[in-house]
Amino acid sequence: MDAFPEKLSQKLLQRIESNALRQLTKPNELVDFSSNDYLGLAKNEEIFQQTHEFLVSRNYKVNGATGSRLLSGNHAFYFEVEKYIAQFHQAQAALIFNSGYDANIGFFSSVPQRNDIILFDELSHASIRDGIQMSLAKSFKFKHNNLVDLENLLIKHTQATDNEQRTTVYIITESVFSMDGDSPDLEKMIQLAENFNAFLVVDEAHALGIFGKNGEGLVQQLNLHDKVFARIITFGKALGCHGAAVLGSEQLVNYLVNFARSFIYTTGLSPHSVATIFVAYQHLLKSQQDRAKLIQNIACFKSCLPTSIFHLPSNSSIHSVIIPGNDRVKTIAQQLQQNDFDVKPILSPTVPEGQERLRFCLHSFNSEQEIRAVLTLLKKII
């Protein structure tokens, strides 16, 4: 069938006219400043080999899960790996989802109830916002990392909900934000949550593997894990594999198993995927040198970035250089790529108009020479 709905054609045309049309690109051999593989574990041959050996040693030669986890797909590895993850993160329990998107969709669409209140950072990831939209709760955004604005919303909505059945308030943030690489003041945010009897939920997607003695994340590094209602971690970034998990109480995990639709109605991860998560976690315990090199590279990037180029301060692997306008930022990214540096432009509407940027992702395997070279070239182009 060749016909295509006119409304859809118009939406594609609008993207083309604003130079914001998304397209799939082929893999390349450029110097990596774009992937989320912060510690290089995605291409780690030792993890690949150990995962295979682990499966063979258990005589587990199965390609797929065969069904949802509530039917036939809950293979034995799940229990072992979830127990290990919970202990690693000092949580009562962990529940593995197929992806970070699935975890956020499942959590936020099912946990907040009708007439509950969700207060979320305005720069929360799209998966969080999509889950919130599917919820029956009322939601309000607060200014990015602005605790004064958050407190004003808490005052307003906790005072306005004095009814027979107490309204539950959820505060949603990320420990490391995916576009700016910055972090909220989690200690003060927890204090606010306690003052207003609210439940704090933290997405740790870009903190896992980077922060903490063994890469446990920023919440554990700050020793705040016992004061957070739920943490959402993903394995597709620094862990270099696939999937995600929600960390929390056993009661929370039991609730999600019963009500999180993105968990209930999907085929489980394959035994190979779950075994890779297990092996990658164990590798984190041996990755202190990689993390130290990454921290060194972050310091190098911040010291070499020309002061004439406006950038957003970050202590994480993510650093953004604001270059307003889709046309201009795409042109500059293409020039960097033509010189063998894989730096991606982030366009509106992914970010607000006027906040278009080059997003640099730093890795343990980047060299200081590569960092200096790409920033020297950027300064020359600009």
Inform me whether the pLDDT recorded for 340 exceeds 90: yes
How large a percentage of the chain has pLDDT more than 70? 98
In a domain, 106, yes or no: yes
Inform me whether the pLDDT recorded for 2 exceeds 90: no
Number of domains in the chain: 2
What distance in Å separates the CA atoms of residue 376 and residue 304, rounded to the nearest whole number? 8
Task: Report the chain's mean pLDDT, rounded to a whole number.
Answer: 94
In a domain, 53, yes or no: no
CATH number for the domain harbouring residue 372: 3.90.1150.10
- So what's the pLDDT on residue 163? 52
What distance in Å separates the CA atoms of residue 362 and residue 348, rounded to the nearest whole number? 23
C-alpha distances in Å from residue 80, one per residue of 58, 205, 274, 275, 286: 13, 22, 10, 10, 20
- So what's the pLDDT on residue 158? 85
254 and 324 housed in the same domain: no
Q: Residue 145 phi/psi, 5° resolution?
A: 55, 25
343 and 275 housed in the same domain: no
Listed in sequence order, the DSSP H helices in the chain are: 6-17, 45-57, 76-88, 100-110, 126-134, 147-159, 186-195, 218-221, 250-259, 261-264, 271-284, 288-304, 326-338, 368-381
- CA atoms within 13 Å, Cβ hemisphere of 50: 16
Residue-range definition of the domain harbouring residue 215: 62-284
312 and 259 housed in the same domain: no
pTM here is: 0.94
Residue 243 is which amino acid?
G
Q: Could you tell me which of 12, 376, 69, 101 has the C-alpha nearest to residue 253?
A: 69
Residue 254 is which amino acid?
N
Which of 263, 284, 305 is at the close of a domain?
Answer: 284
- So what's the pLDDT on residue 165? 57
140 and 252 housed in the same domain: yes
Angle at which helices 368-381 and 288-304 cross, to 10° = 30
- So what's the pLDDT on residue 335? 97
143 and 266 housed in the same domain: yes
